[in-house]
Structures are given as C-alpha cells and as structure tokens.
Amino acid sequence: MSLSVPVSRKTNWSATRLPWAFAFVLAGGAILAPALWNGFPLVFADTGGYLARPFEQTLLIGRSVLYGLVLTAALPWDFWPSIVLQAAAAAWVILLVLRLHGLARRPGLAAALSVALAAFTGLPWNASMLMPDIFAPLTVLGLHLLAFRHADLTRSQAAGLALLVAFGSATHMGTLALGFALFGVYAALRMRAPRLTLPRPRLAPAFLSLFTGVALALGSNVVVTGKAAFTPGGIHFLFGRLLQDGIVARHLAERCPDTSLRLCAYRDALPRRADDWLWGWESPLYKLGGPEGFAPEARAIVWATLSRYPLEQVTSAFGATAQQLVRVRTGEGVNPHDTEHAVRALLRYAPAAMPRFAAARQQHDAFDFTLLNRLQVPLALASLLLLPVIALARRRLRIPSADAALAVSALAGLILNAAICGVFSNPNDRYQSRIAWLAPLALAVAGLSRRVGPDG
C-alpha cells in the first residue's frame, strides 16, 4: 500500500480535520508531558537571564530580549503559556512535515510517530523548558518546508512557517546563524540539485523569513533597551572555547608579561572550563570590566591567535565540531543544583510563582535520564549515520526525492548546529540534544516511503 500522496498536496483538509485535530492534541500533549509531570515549566540556569532582560532593559551576552518578552507576558500564569505555545509549535511543524511527506491520509500514524519522537528523544524536554532551544530544530524544519515544499503549502501554512522561522531565529543568535548557514546550503544545492536528483529549493521564502527574523531581533532590542544592536556575546563565547582548548594559555605564555594585555595579571588564575570563565562568580572576566569592558581585549586575543596558530585553530575547530556532533545526551541542567542563576531572577521578578516552582519535581531532583539516554543516544547516532545513505543512495533505496531532501536538510542542520555551537561556544550536550531528533524524524519519513516518486 502506498503511503505517498500526489505531487500537489494543496488538499481540502476539511474531511480529515477532526482526526488531524486529535493528532495535534495528542502530539502536543506528549511533547508537553515533562512539564505537566513536573508541575511547573522546566527551568534552566539561563532562564533568569532571559526573564530579566525586559525588567533591566539591558543587553546581556547570549540572552535574547525578544524571548524575555515572551516570558514576561506569560509571567501571570506561571509561564505556562510560553511552553504551551512551544509545544504547540513543535507539534504543528512535525505533523505538517509528516503530512507533506507521505502521511496526508494517515493522521493516526502521524500522531503515533510524533508521540514516539516525544518518548525516545530530547524533543519534549526542550519544548517544556523556559528556553528558546526548541526553536533551533523548528527553524530547520520551517526553512526546509519553505524551500522545498512551498508549492504544496497553503497560504496560511506558508505564513505560519515564515512567522515561526522569523521568531525562532530572533530568539537566539545561534539559531539565526544556523538559519543563514542552512540558507547557504540551499543556495549551493539550487545550482546542483538536478545533478543530485533533488528538488530545487526556493530561496526567496526562506530568505525573507530570516530577514524578518533579523528585523525582529533588532527591533525588540531597540524597543526595550534603546540600542539597535544584536544580542552581544559572540566574541566571549568564542574566547571561552579558545581558553578551554588551551590556545589562550599558549598565547599568554608567549606574550606575558605584556602591558597591553591586562589578562596577563590573571594568567595563573584562568579557569579551565569556558562556562567557568563566562559565568563563574570569581572569573577574571568580571575583574577586567565584564563582557563589555573586556570585549576589545578578547577580540584582540582571538584575532592574534588566529594569525599566530592557524593550524591549531583549524584542528581545534574541527575537533569541537566532531565532539559536539555526537554529544546528544538529554538532561543537562535539569537538576536543581544548576538553577541558582534562575532562582535569583525568579525571586526578584516572579515571586508569586516561587511556591509552585519550589514544589515542582525538578526542585526535588526527581528526574533520572539514565534510561532515556540509553535509548535515545544510540537512536540519534544511528539515525545520523544513516542520513547520508538516504541522501546519496535514494534511487537504489527507492526513496522519493522530496524525502531525500528532508534527510539533506536534517543532516545539514545537525552538522551546522554542531559547528556553530562547538566552534563558537564549546561542546555541550544540550546544544545537540535539542536538535538531534531531526535525524530520527527524517529517517522515519524515508522508511515510510513505499514507492519511487514521480520524478524517478
């Protein structure tokens, strides 16, 4: 029995509206399950930094003002609207992908696949957390549909995806970089698509959605802080990774003592981990003027090490990317010991929510991710290894070109995310876990293909 649908999928969905609505509720509920069981939206250490932005009306490294506005708007309801919208967006995009890739007449199967993703990947844990992490994979899927399936979308679907990509890319500079990097892949594929037997991606819808995201990021910062600037911090995250890899220490060993380098005075007190440099209370970063005061020196050191140690820089970057690509464990930062920074902001700006926050299972260390990671890590890595096979051998495997394009988008998204996060920050399980579920999704779509597409 064929699970494929005709080329044109602009179908009247009214006959199956109720089954698809049920699938949406079921998928959204499964994605929201961790927060529901917790009794409160999951909180990460960085949550407080986002929440404080609209109140303090300042820019902070790595903390989007726009996402802070979302948290502030949901504050009277203990932040539940934020994660309900995140779970709803994830459920809608996943079901839309499945509908356009073979399951237009199988809402039950699409719902089952969505629930399986929620059960065996980190998807629900990211969607249930007061963090913009979930928008990284949703941006990848949104761009894929806008680029490769735009002709099959209704106007409302296309508008919804464009809005989601714009908002998602504006919630974090890493996601914005991921979006533009993926757009670059699509631009290259457009020239090579016929030779690769892939559909030619449409670039205009994807670019316009990303451009809107740029305007949204800048506009929200102007409205709240009065500064027409992006969220700062890129140079500091990169500096932290170079410090962690020992490149900064090598530079200081060759240059100190040097009166132009204030960091020489703290050469023997440098932390070994990037996170300790960026967020540690006793970090030399804050003794040297904080992120804003140290930025010129950080920038000078980064450029100096790039010119002095190019081979070491390249080796370090490739190593960080490779390491990040396989670090997919879920659960980082969910234990109560990692929420200290968030608690300070919650006490100050959301005191009414503190009783429910304190009573939540997260604050009583009730989550054990051992079993989940035993299942999801092999699944994520095996799916990652199979994506190139689907993309390169799709004719032999009788996989329609549209489904192979989804595998290409997922693979590109995973590699680009690993490069951006690994190189410009440092390898971290949370960074890849939030996007790793794209591989099993693309693999499931390819596995459901039962006939060769009309393109051969």
- pLDDT tens digit sequence for 143-178: 999 999 999 999 999 999 999 999 999 999 999 999
Query: Quick one: tokens of 142?
Result: 């949104």
Residue 444 CB neighbours (<10 A): 18
Residue 270 buriedness (CB in 10 A; 0-12 / 13-18 / 19+) = middle
**Distance in angstroms (rounded) separating the CA atoms of residues 9 and 7:** 6
CB 202 within 8 A of CB 385: no
Helix axis angle, 107-120 to 80-98, nearest 10°: 130
Q: Would you say residue 336 has pLDDT above 90?
A: no
* Amino acid type, 168: G
Q: What is the mean pLDDT of the segment spanning 228-249?
A: 90
Is residue 63 within 8 Å of residue 53, measured between CB atoms? yes
What is residue 14's predicted lDDT score, i.e. its pLDDT? 52
Query: What is the average pLDDT score of the chain?
Result: 90
Q: Per residue in 246-269, is it b (16+ CB within 10 Å) or e — as a string?
A: ebbeebbeebeeeeebebeeebee
* pLDDT for 7 beyond 70: no
Q: Can you tell me the distance from the alpha carbon of 8 to that of 5, in angstroms, rounded to the nearest whole number?
A: 8
Alpha carbon distance 50, 59 (integer Å): 10
* Closest residue by Cα to residue 293 from 283, 303, 306, 307: 283
Query: Contacts by 426-429 with C-beta closer than 8 Å and gap 24+?
Result: 426/237, 426/240, 426/241, 426/244, 426/274, 426/275, 426/320, 427/320, 427/323, 427/324, 427/327, 428/324, 428/327, 428/332, 429/327, 429/328, 429/329, 429/330, 429/331, 429/332
**String of b and e for 343-375 (b: at least 16 CB within 10 Å)?**
bebbeebbeebeeebeebebbeeebebeebbee
pLDDT of residue 15: 56
Closest CA to 333 of 121, 35, 169, 131: 131
What is the average pLDDT across 232-236? 87
Give the predicted TM-score (pTM) of the model. Answer: 0.92
Helices in 226-279 by DSSP H: which ranges? 234-244, 247-255, 274-279
pLDDT(3) > 60: no
Percentage, residues of the chain above pLDDT 70: 95
| Res 278: pLDDT | 87
Residue 280 near residue 383 (C-beta atoms within 8 A):
no
Backbone angles phi, psi at 228, to 5 degrees: -85, 75
User: Amino acid letter at 427?
Assistant: P
CA 354 to chain centre: 28
CA–CA dist 382, 379 (Å, integer): 5
The one-letter amino acid at 321:
T
Residue 437 pLDDT: 97
Q: What single-letter DSSP state applies at residue 63?
A: B
pLDDT per residue as tens digits for the range 281-294: 789 999 998 888 99
For residue 366, what pLDDT is reported? 87
Residue with tokens 């499945």, as numbered in its chain:
98
CB atoms within 10 A of CB 288: 16
Give which of 323, 349, 449, 331 is closest to 390, Cα–Cα.
449
CA distances from 288 to 183, 201, 206, 248, 294 (A): 38, 48, 41, 16, 6
Determine the Cα–Cα distance for residues 212 and 217; give it in Å rounded to an integer: 9
CB count in 10 Å sphere of residue 329? 18
